[in-house]
Amino acid sequence: MPRLFFALWPDDLTRSRFAAAVESLPKMPGRPVPVRNLHVTLVFLGGVNAEQQQVLQQGADGIHAPSFSLTISQLGCWPHAAVAWLAPGVVPPALVDLVTQLQSVCRNAGLEPDTRPYHPHLTIARKIRRVAPANIDPIFWQISRFSLIKSVSDRAGSEYHPLVHWPLFSSSNMG
């Protein structure tokens, strides 16, 4: 069964900005996440069968949510998870609403979403337990879509394949 998750998948320009930000950090221990893999997980689904995937996609088709922006400005680390991350300083309510809607889509497909408090982040390195928290030069990211991603792991690491992107509506189109 494919292993899937909903994510914010950066456009190429934003991805190149994240790459430059990571490049400019002091050299860190651990295993860096390849630039092509940088993303923000919205809801992790895990192994999903064909019927569940159809329910998930139909549920996502029905989401009507506004676009929003994220300003990525923080560097930090979770020692228990052994990951270093970049994160927004402020979590917009529109992001929390989107995650809540996707969790409900996930439950409708018979999957149990992660119920821990949601902390949006881009994992930039693994197997790392200590990073000095810092502010980075803010990176502005206009979020105008959310995506369903397939994760394929082997000994060399994970590859992510975007399967579907769904648009978020821009407030200028609200009529």
Query: Which residues are at the interface with ligand ATP (CB under 6 A)?
Result: 3, 5, 41, 44, 114, 123, 151, 153, 158
Residue whose CB is less far from ligand ATP, 41 or 147: 41
Residue whose CB is less far from ligand ATP, 158 or 171: 158
**End-to-end alpha carbon distance in the chain:** 42
Q: Which helix (H) or strand (E) holds 51?
A: helix 50-61
- Least separation, in Å, of the C-beta of 115 and ligand ATP? 10
Closest residue to bound ligand ATP by CB? 151
Q: What residues does 75 pair with on adjacent strands?
A: 86, 134
The answer to whether 47 touches 153, Cβ cutoff 8 Å, is no
- Least separation, in Å, of the C-beta of 34 and ligand ATP? 10
Residues 23 and 21: their CA atoms lie apart, in Å, by: 5
Residue whose CB is less far from ligand ATP, 49 or 158: 158
Place of tokens 């002091």: 26
- Least separation, in Å, of the C-beta of 137 and ligand ATP? 24
Q: Which residue type occupies 84?
A: A
Residue whose CB is less far from ligand ATP, 75 or 99: 99
For residue 44, what are its two tokens?
């992790």
